[in-house]
Amino acid sequence: MVPAVLLGLAAAACGLEIAWLVANLVATLLGFGTAGWEELGAAAALAALVAVLGLAQERAQLALGEAARSKLRQAAFAKLLALGPGDPRGAGEKATLVVDQVEALDGYFARWVPAAMLAAIAPLMIAAALAWADLTSGLILLGAGILVPFAMAITGIGAAQASRRQFEALQRLSGRFLDRMRGLPTLVLFNRQEDEAQALGAAATELRQRTMRVLRVAFLSNTGLELLAAGALVTIALRHAGMIMAPGGHPDPATAIFAILLVPAFFAPWRAFAAAYHEAMAAEGAAAALAPLLPAEEPAPGLLLEAMPPKVVVTFTDVRLGYDPARPPALDGLSFRANAGEVLVLSGPSGAGKTSVLRLLMGFARPEAGRIAINGQDAMLLRPEELRRLSAYVGQRPHLFRATLRENIALARPDATAEQVEAAARAARVTDFAEGLPQGLDTLLGEGGFGLSGGQAQRVALARAFLRDTPLVLLDEPTAHLDPGTEAEVFESIRRLCAGRTAIIASHAAFARAGGLGRVLEIEAGRVAGLPRAARV
């Protein structure tokens, strides 16, 4: 910010000298001075310098806004990645936060902050210069400047409220649009496209109306500023006109002209501030949405793994976890032990807490009470990313990106060699169907894995798990929505994946619940089925 402010002050100082030179030239034309070509040349040179300083100031402000946006976007995106699936926001809302909301802060850093600093310093410098030439005129300008913040504060309160509502409407519209675009085939299938188009139109109309309210309030603030400027100009002009009409005439006509010329220069920083004021109001609305992602104090970092353990033992001891105080806890005193190399199948009805166990082991949630140990050590002392280093996860609906099959598998370990990626593909039987694709593993997939069946996408997810080669495997309903034949093939790949590793599998599948993969642990209402509710202290 410092270069932009210094350049603005330099331009204001040059403007003062230009006003003094022009005042002497005009006084000379009226027969009251001796200014000549030298003053005219100096004024022209200073005007060129002001243009250069203005261009440099604009570039400094653009660099300031770009740097601020980059830092904020990185911080917000990093926090969203850290929250992972535990964040309840929709995909559209997240995209709006890191794109539109951060972009809305550009004007705050690039224009409003430098303008606010210049509005606080430059008018004082100009009023002091005028007071040196004519004390009364300088005091008149200073008095008008004192009234400017009051005039802007009256409209600023309404502008802040209107801007906050406008950004809420923008966030709703952006999130809804992205979510509906992702679900466009479903909307067409149920003939809901016209209804959704009307709903989007209504949201767009609401945004337009709220935007116009913000602009109306901004125009009111400009009106108050112009009235003060006109009042100061008229007061100074009447004062010097009275001196000119006096019997002895004006003692220094050049000073009178100088005082009148400085009125626009005095209010120019305020005009720039008012023009950028709506940027601050827009930024306030955007910052309100971004604030939860940018806490003032980050929690103390956890521990790092010294080395990847070859085997892990997972122990839950009276673990409790709740998401909403108004609802029963997800885990209510759950205790179990998964030994090294053992496959533990978590079975139970939906909502029993199976997925919550996996979230805790991946660092996406923290227990309210109890202890989670890995190899006898408190797992919650590790950083969440270190917990995720220990495990390979396969969910119900793996997300495939618009990339090649090879790139989608290598996502699990970017430093893996081509041979390692192909070995993981073979282990998960991805090569069984990849050989029939036009370019094999180098075939480009559509967004969301378009072009592959559910079973094929699940095999790609298993290939990622094979490639990670971690001592802990976490699977959440890995065969959900698969037909029996594909389910059997996927279970065979899962059996090979779990061999020699500690595995925790949440599954409703009959094969898994019958002990076809390993020991089965029935969970009900957040605890082991059949055990009494744990006593509360």
Cβ-Cβ contacts under 8 Å for 399 (sequence gap 6 or more): 448, 449
Tell me if residue 337 falls in helix, strand or coil.
Answer: strand
- The answer to whether 469 and 488 have CB atoms below 8 angstroms apart is no
**Residues forming CATH 1.20.1560.10 domain(s) in the chain:** 68-291
Estimate to the nearest angstrom the gap between the alpha carbon of 116 and the chain centroid. 24
To which H or E segment does residue 345 belong? strand 343-347
Main-chain dihedrals φ then ψ at residue 485, nearest 5 degrees: -65, -45
- The answer to whether 8 and 14 have CB atoms below 8 angstroms apart is no
Q: Per residue of the chain (537 residues), give pLDDT as tens.
A: 888 888 888 888 888 888 888 888 887 887 776 777 888 888 899 889 989 998 998 888 888 888 888 888 888 888 887 777 767 776 767 777 787 778 878 878 888 888 888 888 888 888 888 888 888 887 888 888 788 777 666 665 556 566 666 666 776 677 677 677 767 767 766 677 777 778 778 877 877 777 777 666 666 666 767 788 888 888 888 887 777 776 666 667 778 888 888 888 888 887 787 777 767 766 776 777 777 777 655 555 678 888 889 999 999 999 999 888 888 888 988 999 999 999 999 988 888 888 899 989 988 888 999 999 999 999 988 888 888 889 899 988 888 888 889 999 998 888 889 999 999 999 988 888 888 888 888 888 887 777 788 888 889 999 999 999 899 999 998 887 778 888 888 888 888 899 889 999 988 777 677 667 888 999 988 888 765 554 433
Residue whose structure tokens are 């210094």: 6
Cα separation of 124 and 16, whole Å? 12
- The answer to whether 167 and 289 have CB atoms below 8 angstroms apart is yes
Which has the closest alpha carbon to 362: 377, 343, 335, 382?
A: 382
**Residues forming CATH 3.40.50.300 domain(s) in the chain:** 314-528
- 314-528 under CATH 3.30.565.10, yes or no: no
Cα separation of 298 and 79, whole Å? 11
Which whole-number Å values give the CA distances from 132 to 10, 474, 535, in the listed order?
A: 19, 78, 81
The verdict on pTM exceeding 0.85 is no
- Which tokens sit at 406? 């090879």
* DSSP per residue, 256-305: HHHHHHHHHHHHHHHHHHHHTHHHHHHHHHHHHHHGGGS-SSPPPP-B--
CATH for the stretch 68-291: 1.20.1560.10
CA atoms within 13 A on the CB side of 440: 7
- The answer to whether 16 and 262 have CB atoms below 8 angstroms apart is yes
Cα separation of 37 and 44, whole Å? 10
Residues constituting the chain: 537
Residue 536 is predicted with a pLDDT of: 39
Instruction: Give long-range contacts, CB 8 A cutoff, 24+ apart: 407-416.
Output: 408/445, 408/449, 408/460, 408/464, 409/441, 409/460, 409/463, 409/464, 409/467, 410/467, 411/464, 412/464, 412/465, 412/467, 412/468, 413/467, 413/468, 413/469, 416/467
SS3 content of the chain, % helix, strand, coil (to 5): 65, 10, 25
Which whole-number Å values give the CA distances from 492 to 391, 423, 482, 487, 515, in the listed order?
A: 20, 16, 14, 9, 14
Cβ-Cβ contacts under 8 Å for 419 (sequence gap 6 or more): none
